Amino acid sequence: MNIFFRLRKILKSKFDQVSNERLKNNILNALPFWSGAFLSGCIAVLYAKLFSWAEAGTFYIFHKASWLFFIVTPLCFLMSWWLVNKYAPYARGSGIPQVSAAIELSNPKHSYKVNKLLSLRIIIVKIISSLTMVFGGGVIGREGPTIQISASIFKKINDLLPAWYPKISKRNMIVTGAAAGLAAAFNTPLGGIVFAIEELTKTHFSFFKSALLTGVIIAGLTALNFLGPYLYLGYPHLDALPAWIMLLVIPLAVITGFAGSCMCELILYILNRKKLLRKMLVKVFFVVLCGLIIAALAVLIDFKMMGSGKEIMVSTLFTDEKYLAWYVPLLRMGGSVVSFVAGGAGGIFAPSLSAGASIGAVFGGFFNLTASQANLVILCGMTGFLTAITRSPFTSSILVLEMTNSHNVIFYIMATALLSNMIAQAVSRHSFYDRLKDQYVREIHLEPDTRNQDNTDAKPAETNIQN
């Protein structure tokens, strides 16, 4: 502690020696973003390691005694749900809708309500709950949770700033934190920036573009320092693509756009019906049933339906196993639905990518495509399905391009994203994340004012998701 105070004293004396007031003010404005980005990068790396170990544990159980999933999976689902329900109700699910809700509430009138969505408690519960669920075979990802975790870090740093410190917009801190989290999770800095602009905030980018850029860069560099240079997936073989391949990309975009939006509609429908469950015993039974469904599908049909699905993307893009059975996409989508509605913490980003990849792999097998052609339709399937979930075609395109360095097929990927988005818009006007965000905002507005209490303990009110 003495070392800390001594270091702070030395830094303060050096800072006081700077005579340029504008420079001093710029440094003070940048420091919260820099420190938040560094911490976000560190925690994102740690979380990624823990998540991969949890998935490795799932593989170990499957190869040693797969029947154990009928015990382990329901228990893990139940523990994941209980942690969220007991300690942090707004840690449930993905995390991206919560961040969007926090951004909407980041105004002087409702600023205190953001604590329910972004806090240190959220970080702890989010990590433990999602790790528990994925260990049990839950079809979830870590990318959405990483975004909420990173936004919570930035928000906490903003809260800790002393009264004399230059005023920094909480909203800008949260947006930058979310972008830094995505960049660190996928190693896609450009994707993080586009995500912040397209998904989280549609206006006023010029007011904090420097903070956003530096936040994303520092978080990405921190992750690279620990993990080394890497792509989220790798370099798929893509060359000698015939002109007629576009005739397959178009129907693939239509299918992924329709399938992704229908999956979202099913999740939202079940979540609405789930609100009718009032008795605790019935809620527990529902969660256990979700776990048993996942275990039965994995053990009796195909283990590929468990986990985030990254291994599906890797195997179809980089091995000779490019073609999957017709039922794998159905298992991946069904697993995502069951895992999400169970009520624990876990994202839908990676499962969406893997569901799209599996649809592309089925396409490749059905039309007997070459390796390069199959890789293209797999990438387009990933882009199309993710776009149907997020309704952010440019973010989806940039993410897939950055995680595979597939810039030579950018036009195919962007065309898929735009067409998929049009189909998804025809199914439902509002995106999955927007509708969940609106639900969280309504829940928080219906809760009593708990500014003088520990508001992170507040239970959300029951509201329906509007179509």
Domains for the chain: give ranges and CATH numbers: 30-227 (1.10.3080.10), 243-435 (1.10.3080.10)
Q: Which residues of the chain have pLDDT under 70?
A: 1-5, 7-20, 199-210, 227-231, 449-467
Q: What is the pLDDT of residues 105-116, one digit of tens each?
A: 887 777 778 999
Question: CA 113 to CA 116: how far, in whole Å?
Answer: 6
Contacts of 218 (CB under 8 A, 6+ apart): 33, 34, 37, 38, 41, 180
For residue 93, the SS3 value is strand
Q: Which long-range contacts (CB under 8 A, 24 or more apart) does 206-214 make?
A: 207/169, 207/172, 208/169, 208/172, 208/175, 208/176, 210/30, 211/29, 211/30, 211/33, 211/172, 211/176, 212/172, 212/175, 212/176, 212/179, 214/30, 214/33, 214/34, 214/37
pLDDT of 202 reads 56
At how many degrees (to 10) do helices 96-105 and 432-446 cross? 50
For residue 367, the SS3 value is coil
Say if CB 319 and CB 325 are below 8 A apart: no
Q: What is the pLDDT of residues 312-333, one digit of tens each?
A: 999 999 988 888 999 999 999 9
Which residue in this structure is represented by tokens 């469950």?
A: 277
347 phi/psi in degrees, rounded to 5 = -90, 170
- Rounded to two decimals, what is the model's pTM? 0.88
Nearest of 282, 346, 353 to residue 312 by alpha carbon: 353
Question: CA 125 to CA 116: how far, in whole Å?
Answer: 13
What sign results for the dihedral spanned by CA atoms 191, 436, 272, 136?
positive
